[in-house]
Amino acid sequence: MSDRYAVIGNPIAHSKSPEIHAAFARQTGQDMSYERILGPLDGFAATVDAFRAGGGRGMNVTLPFKLQAFAYSPRRTPRAEAAGAVNTLRFDDGSILGDNTDGAGLANDLTRNLGVHLAGARILLLGAGGAAQGVILPLLEHKPACVVVANRTPEKAVSIASMFRNCGPVSACGLADLRGQRYDVVVNATSAAIGGAAPDLCPDVFADGAFAYEMMYGKGETAFLSLARDAGAGGWADGLGMLVEQAAESFLLWRGVRPDTGPVLAMLRGA
């Protein structure tokens, strides 16, 4: 029987993960299946227990269960600890490992697919929720000049930046404090795009040729990306590449093989 994997979330029907992992499995010749599981809002742990009992080898975890997956994991990778959330579970011989591949997915998309240099860059990270927290450590690992976390509610930015003060040059401020500051890479980790809005941002934050990254995907040119383009950004992307790259990191953790993400990303962009 093929090794079983799944993604669990609520809602889950929209998830592209089965398509992505099926493509990775074909490409690398791995004998595995990957399904969608709609997790009951009050039944995450029981649903994962049942999947494990049925021989499941690993799961991706999406909203709203990433914190519950963190609590579910008796063993966690350092990057899951730093993110405070788990998006990947691996089950072997009765043990459970929790990992978080979201931040590596962002960093890999920026550096490998989009040709953005993070080393020495001034990085502005907008937002201070789970999405922002999950990417700070992987960004710092690329040795940027600084990572500035800016949030509509400044106290939340201060709070998450302080968790990483021993990991590199990270600081925090409110959106209004950005006036006069310029950045090479601006990452939107807010959920503003859900409501069709952009963070209230002074266009001057984009340095000449800056790269703008919208972590959400499937929303076309968001208000944030339009703002970046009008402000003279040199390049921009949405989070579809991050989705494929975080999947590749999960696949590597499960199967020990790194798939080639290029053709899979091209397939999704084509669709």
**Footprint (CB under 6 A) of ligand ATR, residues 199-218:** 199
Are 31 and 8 in contact by the 8 Å Cβ rule? The answer is no
Q: Which is nearer to ligand ATR, 102 or 109 (CB)?
A: 102
**How near is the Cβ of 125 to ligand ATR at its closest, in Å?**
10
Chain positions 14 to 73 lying near ligand ATR, rule: CB under 6 A, are none
Q: Which of 62, 87, 101, 190 binds ligand ATR (CB under 6 A)?
A: 190
Shortest Å distance, C-beta 2 to ligand ATR = 33
In the complex, the smallest distance separating the C-beta of residue 246 from ligand ATR, rounded to whole angstroms, is 14
Q: 143 catalytic, yes or no?
A: no
Least distance from C-beta 264 to ligand ATR, angstroms? 24
- 11 contributes a contact to ligand ATR by CB under 6 A: no
- Asked if residue 191 binds ligand ATR (CB under 6 A), the reply is yes
Please give the residue ranges that form the binding site for ligand ATR (CB under 6 A): 127-132, 151-153, 156, 190-192, 197, 199
Which residues are tagged catalytic? 66
